[in-house]
Chains A and B, each alone.
Chain A
């Protein structure tokens, strides 16, 4: 039947003792075992009978999974099970990475964000993942842990296809590492939903800019998008236009159009592909204008 189950189907809930134990479980019974953090997507998928895990491993209980650490030298380390409100409330995230705060606050509702985790948002590999564009332009590194220890996956290699990520059998996303922010930077996450706030993105756009003498324009921009391609993507060609400069109304428009053309959005129940493309152009232009005016003043 097309209708979801009335209740959660049966499974066993396990509190793991170590990362090693999780990796072993995930390795041995990869079809039947699922790491469990907030459950906000997992439970919905289970009721929809998209997946039917027999064991949920509550990995948020493992050491480091809900820690947030910031250091001026190293940057920001987020445990994979850190919930989105914890990110949005953290004083150093607010100070140094306001872009992440914007992205986190754009998700669903306050109570859901108390459960929804950054790791879950990434691992679901939804094209609409709200945290993904910001992490892409912040060049985050994802730390996976498996039977053979830890492995670094650059975030731009993490999303493979809708619902498919780069974790291998037995691997668990443990931590997200983000470099210290570049000097003088400003970022913006703009999201368009069907109603004013809290919807899944019809289109999501993250824009980052900062002064950089190695760029021809003297500024470096980064742009990433959600909900407009099979995975969250970067708009590298558009970035290049701006990095070459000069930054002007025309180059911003060109970057917006180039970003739009880089999208391969689908028609779905939320919006048509054509609308998504059109909105990418609008959002990128708005984001770039805002970022440009901020970094000029700030720089």
Chain B
């Protein structure tokens, strides 16, 4: 099986890695780059626990090949805080008690971040719709939705 040497930017850091063709972006992040904040919940693009931003758009890292990330800019949950300050979505999740077991949380946060980037003041329905690919078995979603509404307002103030 062929290997590929690729370069990509992950959380602002330029990385050069050799990856086999069948390595997913998820495996690259978790096992090569040690970024275990991105989770593997189904390996089939259904649960959203592996959601990361690739060139500023959310993707299921389990269904994306590492080699496709050549020259891409990747953002994972570890890269969200800026200058030691949490992203407003992260802060809102804490404030609203919108995490329980926490396994879906990084993916939820990245989906929400991307939503607010493309739509700074989403309606409740738009939030629900943007999150429908991030399964959460604990919270019942209500607090997550409120947290994102809050982050949207707070984000506008920033």
Q: Which of A8, A13, A47, A111 contacts B2 (CB 8 A)?
A: A13
State whether the Cβ of A10 lies closer than 8 Å to any Cβ in chain B: yes
Q: How many residues on the A side are at the interface (Cβ–Cβ under 8 A)?
A: 27
- The distance in angstroms between the C-alpha atoms of A12 and B20, with both chains bound, is 8
* Residue picked from A6, A7, A114, most chain B C-beta under 10 Å: A114
State whether the Cβ of B32 lies closer than 8 Å to any Cβ in chain A: no
Q: Which of A6, A7, A9, A111 contacts B111 (CB 8 A)?
A: A111
Contact yes or no, A109 B22, CB < 8 A: no
- The distance in angstroms between the C-alpha atoms of A56 and B63, with both chains bound, is 14
Interface of B is mostly: mixed
**Interface magnitude class on chain B:** 20 to 34
- The distance in angstroms between the C-alpha atoms of A198 and B129, with both chains bound, is 9
Q: Which of A43, A112, A114, A197 contacts B129 (CB 8 A)?
A: A197
State whether the Cβ of A275 lies closer than 8 Å to any Cβ in chain B: no
Contact yes or no, B22 A44, CB < 8 A: no
Contacts known (A13-B65, A39-B63); A112 close to B133, Cβ less than 8 A: yes
Contact yes or no, B58 A12, CB < 8 A: no
Contact yes or no, B45 A44, CB < 8 A: yes
Contacts known (A39-B63, A115-B59, A198-B132); A56 close to B45, Cβ less than 8 A: no
Contacts known (A85-B57, A111-B133, A197-B132); A47 close to B43, Cβ less than 8 A: yes
- The distance in angstroms between the C-alpha atoms of A105 and B129, with both chains bound, is 9
State whether the Cβ of B67 lies closer than 8 Å to any Cβ in chain A: yes
State whether the Cβ of A139 lies closer than 8 Å to any Cβ in chain B: no
Contacts known (A39-B63, A47-B44); A10 close to B22, Cβ less than 8 A: yes
State whether the Cβ of B130 lies closer than 8 Å to any Cβ in chain A: yes
Contact yes or no, A39 B133, CB < 8 A: no
For A40, what are the chain B residues with a Cβ–Cβ distance below 8 Å? 45, 60, 63
For A114, what are the chain B residues with a Cβ–Cβ distance below 8 Å? 54, 57-59
- Name B128's closest neighbour in chain A (CB-CB): A197
State whether the Cβ of B48 lies closer than 8 Å to any Cβ in chain A: yes
For A12, what are the chain B residues with a Cβ–Cβ distance below 8 Å? 1-2, 21
The interface bits of chain B over 46-64 (1 if a CB of A lies within 8 angstroms of the residue's CB, else 0) are 0010010010011110011
Seen from chain A, the residues whose Cβ lies within 8 Å of a Cβ on chain B are: 6-13, 38-40, 43-44, 47, 56, 58, 85, 105, 108-112, 114-115, 197-198
Seen from chain B, the residues whose Cβ lies within 8 Å of a Cβ on chain A are: 1-2, 4, 20-22, 24, 27, 43-45, 48, 51, 54, 57-60, 63-65, 67-68, 111, 114-115, 129-130, 132-134
8 pairs from A and B in contact (CB 8 Å cutoff) = A11-B21, A11-B22, A40-B45, A108-B133, A109-B132, A109-B133, A110-B130, A111-B58
